[in-house]
Amino acid sequence: MSDLRNYILNKDTLKYERKKHSWRPAFRYLAAAAAGAVLFFGYLFVYMKGLGLELPKTAMLKKRNAEWASKVELMNSRMDRYEAVLQGLETRDNRIYRSVFGMNEIAPEVRNAGFGGVNRYAHFDGLGYGSRLRRTAVRLDKLTKKACVQSKSFDDVEAMARKTGDMASCIPAIIPVNPAATNFHVSSTFGFRKDPITGNSKMHTGQDIACKDGNKVYATGDGVVESVKYEFFGYGRSVLIDHGFGYKTRYAHMSRIDVVEGMKVKRGSCIGLSGHSGRATGSHVHYEVIYKGKYVNPNGYIDYDMTVEDYSGLVQQASDADNT
């Protein structure tokens, strides 16, 4: 059967003759394919190199890339505005809101902290560390975290603002002894002065209120007794009261102390008696006001216009509260 396939009928002789194979058709097909390939690649060469044009797919990808680049650029432009607004909020928060309520500023390293641990941007590694898309992602995350820190700060300020009534009674605002004119006088003010013992110029961190031994000494604002100390030199017998909101007061050189550490006191509560314990040349009360860890002039907090009757009434209210 396979032999018959190799024969063909000759119509002239009516005989079967062996079929002759020709490779010409195959060569024609190969030649046509080669010519088509040459024309195709020649067209690409002329299209891309000669005319400076790009393939449709390449042009489409570049167009999409340009669109995304524009979106990233727009995002960065908006983040510039948001960052400027957030910077203004941070400045007002630290210098005004938190300062008013005696709260410490939020440190820059807390506000600008990054993200530690696992590499959150590993999927950008193929684009290179300096890629704009990676930088944008890092910037967005930092901006988001800063906004969260600021939001938490405002929550803290709001909670503190609700306690403004308590703040008014906590800020030291009266003189620590009865203001009757015959009971005291200010013997040394806040600031640099000549030391009464050594004669050298030295910073005086408080105000000396000269009075007789045994005069009652009163807390100048609501608070909690932080420490009760006795030093043979230095402050002698002293009391440190934490009033909150960044304020503390110290009462030194006392002859007796009537409070203990951790005890709550009111403005006008008696905390002890005046004296000359420690490094002192005469009977007095050394009174300090400390705000956010720094000594400030007590004179700026004392209401010298308060009458003796009002002062006595305040002391009586504090006594009644202490006894309940």
* Final residue in a domain of this structure, among 104, 128, 162: 162
Lowest mean pLDDT among 115-129, 150-164, 204-218, 294-308: 115-129
196 plus 240 within the same structural domain: yes
264 plus 195 within the same structural domain: yes
Does this model's pTM top 0.85?
no
Higher pLDDT, 101 or 141: 141
Residue 19 is predicted with a pLDDT of: 64
Alpha carbons 143 and 140: distance in angstroms, whole number: 5
* Final residue in a domain of this structure, among 110, 144, 162: 162
279 plus 188 within the same structural domain: yes
Dihedral sign (CA 276, 280, 281, 286): negative
Residue 315 is predicted with a pLDDT of: 93
144 plus 27 within the same structural domain: no
Residue 18 is predicted with a pLDDT of: 67
Higher pLDDT, 268 or 57: 268
According to DSSP H, which parts of the chain are helical? 24-45, 56-92, 98-100, 108-111, 132-161, 164-170, 308-323
109 plus 208 within the same structural domain: no
In a domain, 64, yes or no: no
Total of domains in the chain: 3
The enclosing H or E element of 10 equals: strand 7-10
In a domain, 67, yes or no: no
Environment class of 137 (CB within 10 Å of its CB; exposed 0-12, middle 13-18, buried 19+): middle
The CATH number that applies at residue 213 is 2.70.70.10
Look at residue 185 and give its three-state secondary structure.
Answer: strand
In a domain, 69, yes or no: no
Two tokens at 234?
């230095």
234 plus 256 within the same structural domain: yes
Instruction: Give the count of beta carbons closer than 10 Å to the beta carbon of residue 178.
Output: 17
